[in-house]
């Protein structure tokens, strides 16, 4: 089962406790600004499906999943956007993948303390044949970009998937780095197939004494039992070195067939004698959310927040699934364990969003922000809508109120399908990418847009946008 962004939007459901939906009034509406339009010209990246990151100077960094025309509809790029004196933004392409060093990067980047960049490619040549996808020999990988003394960037291939029979394949998540420079990530599939054996992994990449990298598989997920499988979202680390994440797959008692696989939230803790212990923090049942495809965040009190791609009380029926997705909170209990609270259940109608495929971010006041892949007040992007940026605010009475900050519009200018989520700057402005849309002409009949996306017409190549509250 594949819960990729564009496919993940066709999944499962969730519950909601107390929430009021309101659309911002016209007089106080936040303003959207398109910072950059990706275009199909040669040597240009297209279709940015991942989240952005900032550096200390306010420059933005991200990846495009295709572009450069190296093979087929392109293999993807890593880019930097820098603000100029006239208020515009300039793109600099830091790296273009050639297929042999990986392609189709779908995850955000991270910096280490020296300014090197790390992330993953979801596909890539050179690994052994992936047994669970026997028609391909591309398993993806992890890479590092370092700045060269004379200018430009150099790529180092940190790991190729799969490198052994129980390795993972097709990583779609970002990496997280600890204080020692070790990298951690997830891969939703396994080289040995997804059955009684492993079905996705959590891995660690650590430097060797010779300057290379070594992979250690920390946990193999199984499709049997009460756990989950297919971890697609990013991991996070706490101060004690424990890892937290989600799996899109997994069904427990009470998970209705209507929702397919419901998924779960897990913790991995290092054991004193070596190895790692998995603890299931929450199993979703469909009515309280299903198929979480994104990572988690902590607040200052140690509570966890995340989204489920489907499930909940909103009755969306895109594809063969129901439920429009949710935003949830997990609170640690005094005696152990965690309590889940559904903060919001997306409706997918009346201007509301549906199917969040990315996580949320939190500001200093405790407000949550995120995106939905579909929904909103515009209906030109298929019948499900073009996607939204939303804000959740905790009210005095303890409930959460949703405000739709922006509904994307397939008008040849705005972006569509904001799959990567948002980030915040110090002033409270939001930045993100749209998978498609904008004024770049990508569509069926060209090598871009027709091959990778199954011949579906998405007439824009993607955008970088800013939402100013």
Cα(45)–Cα(387) distance, integer angstroms = 22
Per-residue pLDDT of the chain (469 residues; tens, 9 = 90+): 343 443 333 332 222 222 333 333 334 578 999 999 998 766 788 999 999 999 999 999 999 998 875 555 568 999 999 999 998 999 999 999 988 888 899 999 999 999 999 999 999 864 443 334 333 446 899 999 999 999 999 999 999 998 888 899 999 999 999 999 999 999 999 887 675 556 899 999 999 999 899 999 999 998 766 678 999 999 999 999 999 999 998 877 667 656 667 999 999 999 998 999 999 999 999 889 999 999 999 999 999 999 999 999 888 865 545 789 999 999 999 999 999 999 999 998 889 999 999 999 999 999 999 999 999 987 667 667 899 999 999 998 889 999 999 999 988 899 999 999 999 999 999 999 999 999 887 753 334 433 333 334 556 899 999 999 8
Cβ-in-10-Å burial (0-12, 13-18, 19+) of 296 comes to: buried
CB count in 10 Å sphere of residue 131: 15
Could you tell me the two tokens for 303?
A: 């509570």
Is the torsion defined by CA of 48, 52, 55, 57 positive or negative?
Answer: positive
**Looking at residue 257, what DSSP letter applies?**
G
List C-alpha distances in Å: 338 to 279, 332, 333, 335, 395: 11, 4, 5, 9, 23
Split into its structural domains, the chain has a count of: 1
CATH label of the domain that carries residue 54? 2.130.10.130
Q: Which domain holds residue 148?
A: 5-468
Element (H, E) at 448: helix 447-450
Determine contact, residues 21/350, Cβ cutoff 8 Å: yes
Q: What is the DSSP letter of 234?
A: P
Rounded distance, CA 172 to CA 140, Å? 9
What predicted TM-score, i.e. pTM, was given to this entire model?
A: 0.88
């Amino acid at each position: 089962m594949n819960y990729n962004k564009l496919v993940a939007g066709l999944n499962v459901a969730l519950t909601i406790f107390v929430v009021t939906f309101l659309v911002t009034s016209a007089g106080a509406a936040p303003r959207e600004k398109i910072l950059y339009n990706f275009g199909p010209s040669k040597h240009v990246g297209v279709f940015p499906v991942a989240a952005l990151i900032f550096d200390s100077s306010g420059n933005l960094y991200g990846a495009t999943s295709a572009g450069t025309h190296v093979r087929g509809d392109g293999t993807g790029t890593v880019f930097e956007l820098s603000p100029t004196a006239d208020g515009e933004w300039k793109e600099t392409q830091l790296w273009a993948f050639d297929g042999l060093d990986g392609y189709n990067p779908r995850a955000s980047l991270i910096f280490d303390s020296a300014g090197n960049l790390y992330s993953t490619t979801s596909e890539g040549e050179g690994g052994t044949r992936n047994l669970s996808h026997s028609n391909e020999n591309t398993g993806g990988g992890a890479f590092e970009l370092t700045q060269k003394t004379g200018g430009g960037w150099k790529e180092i291939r940190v790991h190729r998937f799969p490198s052994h029979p129980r390795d993972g394949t097709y990583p779609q998540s970002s990496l997280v780095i600890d204080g020692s420079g070790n990298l951690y990530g997830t891969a939703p599939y396994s080289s040995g197939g997804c059955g009684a054996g492993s079905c996705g992994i959590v891995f660690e990449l650590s430097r060797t004494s010779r300057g290379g990298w070594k992979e250690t598989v920390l946990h193999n997920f199984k499709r049997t039992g009460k756990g989950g499988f297919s971890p697609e979202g990013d991991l996070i680390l706490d101060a004690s070195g424990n890892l937290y994440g989600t799996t899109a797959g997994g069904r427990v008692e009470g998970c209705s067939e209507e929702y397919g696989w419901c998924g779960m939230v897990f913790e991995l803790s290092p054991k004193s004698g070596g190895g790692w212990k998995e603890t299931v923090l929450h199993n979703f049942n469909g009515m309280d959310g299903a198929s979480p495809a994104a990572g988690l965040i902590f607040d200052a009190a140690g509570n966890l927040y995340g989204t489920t791609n489907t499930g909940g009380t909103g009755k969306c029926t895109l594809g063969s699934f129901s439920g429009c997705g949710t935003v949830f909170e997990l609170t640690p209990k005094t005696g152990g364990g965690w309590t889940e609270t559904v903060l919001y259940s997306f409706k997918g109608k009346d201007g509301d969003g549906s199917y969040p495929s990315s996580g949320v971010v939190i500001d200093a006041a405790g407000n949550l922000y995120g995106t939905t892949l579909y929904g909103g007040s515009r209906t030109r992007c298929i019948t499900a809508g073009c996607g939204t940026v939303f804000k959740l605010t905790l009210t005095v009475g303890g409930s959460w109120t949703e405000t739709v900050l922006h509904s994307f519009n397939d008008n040849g200018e705005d972006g569509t399908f904001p799959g990567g989520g948002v980030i915040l700057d110090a002033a409270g402005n939001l930045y993100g990418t749209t998978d498609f849309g904008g004024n770049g002409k990508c569509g069926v009949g060209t090598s871009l847009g027709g091959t990778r996306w199954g011949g579906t017409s998405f007439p824009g190549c993607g955008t970088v946008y800013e939402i100013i509250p």
